[in-house]
Amino acid sequence: MSTARSRGLGRRWVRAVSLAALLSAALPLALPARAVDSPGAATAHQEPDSSKITPAMVDAGRAIFHGKGTCFACHGMQLEGSQVAPTLKVHAWRDAKNGEFPAIFYVVTHGVSGTLMVAFPGDISRAEALDVASYVWSVGHGKAAP
């Protein structure tokens, strides 16, 4: 004859077993996904590297800055800045720390919350963001004309 206490234990045991069953069903799904993910993730999260900037990237970035990316509307045709946005020439960088390439890319892809600076202005792609960041960085380092 079973007591209330042993029935309680029984229910807990059933719950533990079904949790284990759930976990063992979920694990094989989770593991290959992680294995497939890691090589791609390593590339996707690689730091933008200024030594890998090419003249083609800078030219593409210049066109994006003055076109699709709409950057010129706030930051000026010559990166001189405006009433609404800072210059992107050499200055005391506020968001893109020290004007470093990864920092410029970060601002373009994340925006500055609470300001007019949105992420991916003009709906540019990640590749276009890299190009436009290359352009801004290169102008700031005297390696390209605005």
Around 54, how many Cα atoms within 13 Å sit in the side-chain half-sphere? 3
* Binding residues for ligand HEC (CB under 6 A): 69-71, 73-75, 84-86, 88, 93-96, 104, 107-108, 112, 115-117, 121, 124, 132, 136
CB of 124 to ligand HEC, least distance (A): 6
Q: Which residue's CB is nearer to ligand HEC, number 15 or number 97?
A: 97
- SS3 call for 22: helix
Q: Whole-number minimum distance, CB 51 to ligand HEC, in Å?
A: 19
The values of phi and psi at residue 11, to 5°, are -65, -40
Q: Which is nearer to ligand HEC, 31 or 95 (CB)?
A: 95
- Smallest Cα–Cα separation from 117: which of 131, 127, 132? 132
By C-beta, is 38 or 113 nearer to ligand HEC? 113
What letter would DSSP give residue 48?
A: P
Amino acid (one-letter) located at 29? L
Closer by beta carbon to ligand HEC, 63 or else 73: 73
Nearest approach, Cβ of 127 to ligand HEC (angstroms)? 13
Please report how close the Cβ of residue 67 comes to ligand HEC at its closest, in angstroms.
10
**63/59 Cα distance (integer angstroms):** 6
Question: Using N-to-C axis directions, what is the helix angle for 101-110 and 126-140, rounded to 10°?
Answer: 140
